[in-house]
Amino acid sequence: MALWHPDRNRSLTPDRVGTGGGKVWWRCPAGHEWEETVISRRSLPKWKGGDVTACRECTGFKVRRVFPKCGCVKMVQPGTREAEYDQCYWCRSREFEENAPRIKAELSAAAKAAAGRAEQLLDAVALPEALPPGLAVEWRYWAAGEVRGAIAAEQVLARSGEAERALARVTVAAQRSMPTLEACMAATARDGVVKILGRAYWAEGWRYLLSGRPREPLGAEHLAAFRGHLEGWLEDWAQYVREEREAGRRVPATTAEVTAALTEEIREFLRGLGDGAMVYGEVRVPVVPEGKTRYGRLDLVGWSPSPAIPEFVVEVDSAPNPSSVQKLEFCRDAGAVPLWVRFGTGGVEEVDGVGVIDVREAVRAATGSQAGPA
C-alpha cells in the first residue's frame, strides 16, 4: 500500500489491516491526506481512470474547500450543490436544528407568499395532450407545492437556483405522470396500488381506464353473499358497542368517531381475504366526482394476491353522498366488489351492482345517538 500514511495510523500497519476495517489515513506523493477504508482504496471507480492509487485531489475529482461562513475545510466535488454553499453540511444541519421552529415558520410563510409566482411558472409548462384532465389537476396541485417550497428555500435558506431546478423536475414529471398499462397490470398483481406523483392510486382502476377491459365481475348472488357477511360482521360490532354503552363504558358517539370505528371494523373484515391480503385507506381512484376538480379517494380497498379473489372497495358515509355513488359505480364497472356502508341520517338508495349495507338503525341503537356532528 504505497499511499499508506506513515505517521497518522498510530500502531496500525498495512499488513495488520483487513478489508473490513474502518477508515485509515492515506497520503499521495503530492502531499494530499485523507481518510478512507482499505476496501474503498482498492476499488476502481470511474474517476480513478484505471489507476487504483489515484488521488481525488490530483485527478480533480474532488477539491479541498474552505467554507467561508463556518471556516470548515471539506472535500467537495466541483459543480455540485455542496460546492456552492457557504457552510459545510454538518454546520448547516446544526444551525437548522438550533433554529428549526423559526426557519420552518419562515419557510411556511414564504411558500404561501410564493403562490402567485409558482402559478405563473407552471402556466408556462406544456402538458402532454393525452394527459387526462383529472391527472392534469393532480399534477398542478403537486407541482405547485414543489415550486412554492423551492422559491421559499431560495428566499429563506439562500439556495440559489432551487426554483429553476424544481420547475425542471415538475416539467419532467408532467411528461411521465401518465401510468402505462404495463405498469398498472404489474401493480394489480404485485400489491394493488400504483404510485403517481408520489401518491397511491387504485391500480385496477387505472388498468381498466387504460385498457377498457373490466375484470370478470362478481355474480349477483356472490355480491349478495359478501354483503350479507359484512352486514353480519357490523351487526355483531354494533351489539358489542351497545353492551359496552349499557355497561357504562364510553362508546363512539359523534359522526367522526362512528366513521372511524366502522372503518376499522371493515378493515379487519377485509384482512380476512386470505394470506398476503392488503387493505388500503384513502387510495385515489381515477374518477372526478361531479362538482369536484380532483380525483376521488376510496375509504378502503381490499386486495388479495390470489387472482381468483376480486378486489373489494368500500365507502362509509353518514349521509347520502353522490360522490360515493360515482366512485363505486366506476369500481363496479372495473370488475371490483363495491360495498357502500350507510349510517347516520338521510335515505338509503339502492345502486345497481353495488352492495348497499344499511346500518343506520343498528348504529343508532348501539350508540344511543344519531351520530351527529363531532
User: Angle at the Cα of 275 (from 271 to 277), degrees rounded to 5?
Assistant: 45
Q: Give the predicted TM-score (pTM) of the model.
A: 0.75
Query: Residue 48: which of 59, 62, 63 has the closest Cα?
Result: 59
pLDDT of residue 17: 76
How would CATH label the architecture of 220-367?
A: 3-Layer(aba) Sandwich (3.40)
Break the chain into its structural domains and give their ranges.
14-61, 99-176, 220-367
Query: Residue 259: which of 153, 374, 147 has the closest Cα?
Result: 374
pLDDT per residue, tens digit, the chain (374 aa), is 678 998 898 888 877 776 667 889 999 999 999 998 888 888 899 999 999 999 999 999 999 999 999 999 999 999 888 888 889 999 989 988 999 999 999 999 999 999 999 999 999 999 999 999 999 999 999 999 999 999 999 999 888 899 999 999 999 999 999 999 999 999 999 999 999 999 999 999 999 999 999 988 777 888 888 899 999 999 999 999 999 999 999 999 899 999 999 999 999 999 998 889 999 999 999 999 999 999 999 999 999 999 888 999 999 999 999 999 999 999 999 999 999 999 999 999 899 999 999 999 999 999 887 554 44
Q: Residue 362 is which amino acid?
A: A
Please check whether residue 149 is in contact with residue 118, taking contact to mean a CB–CB distance below 8 angstroms.
no
Please check whether residue 167 is in contact with residue 144, taking contact to mean a CB–CB distance below 8 angstroms.
no
Ranges of beta strands (E only) in the chain are 24-27, 33-36, 63-66, 73-76, 193-196, 199-202, 278-285, 296-303, 312-317, 337-342, 355-358
